[in-house]
Amino acid sequence: MNTPHTIPRPGALLLSAALLAVSACSGADPAAEPDAGGDTLRYAATGSPSTATHDPHGGVGNESDSLRFGLLYDVLAVPGDDGTTELRLAESVEPADEELVEWTITLRSDAVFSDGSPVRAADVLYSLRRIEDKAAENFGRLGMFDFAASEVVDDHTLTVVAHQPYAAAPRALEAVTFVVPEGTEDFSEPVPGSGPFLFAEGDAENAVLERNDDWWGPTPPLERVEISAVADPQARAQAVSSGQADVGSSVAPSSVAAAEEEGLQVVRRPAVTMYPFVMRLDTPPFDDPAVREAFRLAADRDQLVETVFLGYGQVGDDVIAPADPASPETEARERDVDRARELLADAGHGDGLEVVLHTTTSYPGMDTAATLYAEQLEEVGVDVEISMDPPDTYWTDVFAQEPFYTGFYGGIPFTDIATVALLSDAPTNETAWERPEWDAAFAEALSTADAQERDGILSELMLELRDEGGYVVWGTGDGIDLATDDVADLPDGPGFDKLFIDQVRLTG
């Protein structure tokens, strides 16, 4: 056990009781923080403490874990500004053939693990293979690659082979490719890493990291980072306002007003949360395109964004990945009650239509979104029964099963959404979107080397899905982080960008 805790002695307890009494009577100011040292950042991150893990290659459902892994381990690349890929451990990721199937990754030669051994291509390939071995836990995130056919060329070069042409290979290697030493199998404790910080003390749910002075990259301004997993969004906000943390991530929009009043910093990360309504194309009444169009026209998107995200978000127009660089320019989709009624009447539902809309409380506002949308649907003559399902079983029993439910996407790129949920053979094709021509065009896009040309094809695919698919994307919510005013350079990009906090500074 590497926790330094000791069981308190009775004497210590008595002393603490006395201190309790004193602090309770003297009206101690909760904002008076203990001496944190000017170079220590305390970060209260989203995470359920009991699921906190030391294994960077599995599901990693906790942001507190991903954040820690982003400091402890090197990754091949990270998401850069404006959607480009910024290389890290990789010096280059280049196609080795015309077909874009085989890719050569060259590693920088100055990366060293905390146990002193150099980071080699074999370590990278071992880590990539381990991620693919855990596909069941991580949504098959690297499923586009065939790592059995991939190989080590020399100490700092490897080739990875995709199952099919995959022009987006560099992007696929962003963020999740945490590199550990070859052969590491026991992850019940932190393993050696080559990232900007080192594990100093604590545990997975409550960790202290110290700067790694041997890191190859720009010296992190912070000396220490403490990351705590805090499950409740309100507790994360209160941790910052009561001086127990410098940063509280992903707080509820309802915390913002009070935080601004207290002079705290509010960082907004655009298009992070999306609760689209999901309709299955293979189940009546959603097999009728007119019904789907009517359901899209029934949505009052402004009201949904205003109510669910308290305005901290953007109105959507059914484009599934609005933050993606390939996302098409579209006109706003306005509510049209009359047209929606007309479409439903023409489709044979003139005297009413009954549907069940499933939702849950996994993410804040999912239930509100469904309830409000149900009211909006009532106004076009649809009778909606809301089924409020327990979050424990929602993602196994409702998600990708029921014909009409409230879904979730967390700002992942369009190519990932397509691979997971849109291709005919996608593991969770939740809308039953099966179009061979669409699949073929997607494959063509991924074998197109020119980025602009590729984005053009992807953009067309998104448009087709927008108008004919099974999603009502009514809006996206911002990720909202609170911080004390002396924290600078917090990441504010979408998606995985927020996980890389090695260049955050304290100005106070």
Partner 1 sequence: MRTAPRRSRWTRALTSVVRACALLAAVSVAVFAVSDLLPSDAVAVRAGAGATAEQLDAMRAAAGLDAPAHERYARWLAGLVTGDAGTSLVNDRPVAVLVGARLPATLTLAGAALLVAVPLTAVLAWAAGAAPPRARSWTAGAVAGLAAVPQPAFVAGLVALFSVAWGVLPPVSLVRAGGSPLDEPTLLVLPSLALAVPIAAYGAGLLGGALADARALPHVRDAELRGVPRWRIATRHVAPFLLAPALRVLAVSAGALVAATAVVETMFGYQGLGELLVSAIATRDVPVVQAVALLASAVVVAGTAAADAAAALTEPVTA
- Give residues 165-224 in contact with partner 1 (rule: CB under 8 A): 187-188, 200-208
Applying CB under 8 A, the span of 42-50, 93-101, 279-287, 338-346 interacting with partner 1 comes to: 42-50
> What is d(CA 127, CA 177) in angstroms, rounded to the nearest whole number?
7
Nearest CA to 233 out of 411, 361, 137 is that of: 361
User: Is residue 197 a contact partner of residue 212, using CB atoms and an 8 Å limit?
Assistant: yes
Nearest CA to 204 out of 47, 417, 32, 435 is that of: 47
Among the listed residues 83, 108, 122, 139, the single contact to partner 1 using CB under 8 A: 139
Calculate the alpha carbon distances from 476 to 179, 211, 269, 373 in Å.
Answer: 32, 36, 11, 15
> What is the signed CA dihedral for 71, 196, 127, 428, rounded to 10 degrees?
30
Rounded least distance, CB 159 to partner 1, Å: 27
Among the listed residues 41, 45, 52, 462, the single contact to partner 1 using CB under 8 A: 52
Among the listed residues 41, 45, 46, 55, the single contact to partner 1 using CB under 8 A: 55
Examine residue 232 and tell whether it contacts partner 1 (CB under 8 A). yes
Examine residue 228 and tell whether it contacts partner 1 (CB under 8 A). yes
Which residues in 403-422 contact partner 1 (CB under 8 A)? 420
Which residues in 323-382 contact partner 1 (CB under 8 A)? none
Question: Hey, what amino acid is at 106?
Answer: T
Query: Tokens standing for 61?
Result: 């459902």
Helices and strands in the chain, H and E counts: 14, 21
3-class DSSP state for residue 187? coil
Which residues in 379-398 contact partner 1 (CB under 8 A)? 392-393, 395-397
Nearest CA to 245 out of 483, 476, 488 is that of: 483
Asked if the bond preceding 285 is cis, omega within 30° of 0, the reply is: yes
Among the listed residues 117, 164, 242, 507, the single contact to partner 1 using CB under 8 A: 242
| Between 42 and 88, CB nearer to partner 1 | 42
Among the listed residues 54, 156, 358, 454, the single contact to partner 1 using CB under 8 A: 54
User: Is residue 245 a contact partner of residue 225, using CB atoms and an 8 Å limit?
Assistant: no
Examine residue 400 and tell whether it contacts partner 1 (CB under 8 A). yes
Among the listed residues 128, 144, 191, 227, the single contact to partner 1 using CB under 8 A: 227
| Between 48 and 106, CB nearer to partner 1 | 48
User: Is residue 220 a contact partner of residue 202, using CB atoms and an 8 Å limit?
Assistant: no
Binding residues for partner 1, rule CB under 8 A, total 75
Rounded least distance, CB 251 to partner 1, Å: 12
Among the listed residues 144, 162, 245, 353, the single contact to partner 1 using CB under 8 A: 245
Phi, psi of 199, rounded to the nearest 5 degrees: -75, 125
Examine residue 471 and tell whether it contacts partner 1 (CB under 8 A). no
Number of Cβ within a 10 Å radius of residue 284:
9
Rounded least distance, CB 324 to partner 1, Å: 20
Rounded least distance, CB 256 to partner 1, Å: 17
Among the listed residues 215, 277, 309, 399, the single contact to partner 1 using CB under 8 A: 399
Examine residue 243 and tell whether it contacts partner 1 (CB under 8 A). yes
Which residues in 67-96 contact partner 1 (CB under 8 A)? none
Examine residue 42 and tell whether it contacts partner 1 (CB under 8 A). yes
Rounded least distance, CB 247 to partner 1, Å: 13
Query: Tokens standing for 369?
Result: 């979104």
Residues 6+ apart with CB under 8 A from 391: 360, 361, 362
Number of Cβ within a 10 Å radius of residue 460:
15
Strand 475-483 versus strand 247-248 pairing type: antiparallel
Applying CB under 8 A, the span of 40-48, 111-119, 327-335, 446-454 interacting with partner 1 comes to: 40-48
| Between 6 and 452, CB nearer to partner 1 | 6
Rounded least distance, CB 387 to partner 1, Å: 15
Strand 382-388 versus strand 353-359 pairing type: parallel
Widest distance between CA atoms in the chain: 80
| Between 239 and 445, CB nearer to partner 1 | 239
Residues 6+ apart with CB under 8 A from 97: none
3-class DSSP state for residue 442? helix
Rounded least distance, CB 360 to partner 1, Å: 13
Question: Hey, what amino acid is at 222?
Answer: L
Rounded least distance, CB 54 to partner 1, Å: 7
Is residue 105 exposed (0-12), middle (13-18) or buried (19+ Cβ within 10 Å)? buried
Among the listed residues 4, 218, 263, 284, the single contact to partner 1 using CB under 8 A: 4
Rounded least distance, CB 428 to partner 1, Å: 4
Strand 40-46 versus strand 247-248 pairing type: parallel
Rounded least distance, CB 21 to partner 1, Å: 9
| Between 42 and 333, CB nearer to partner 1 | 42
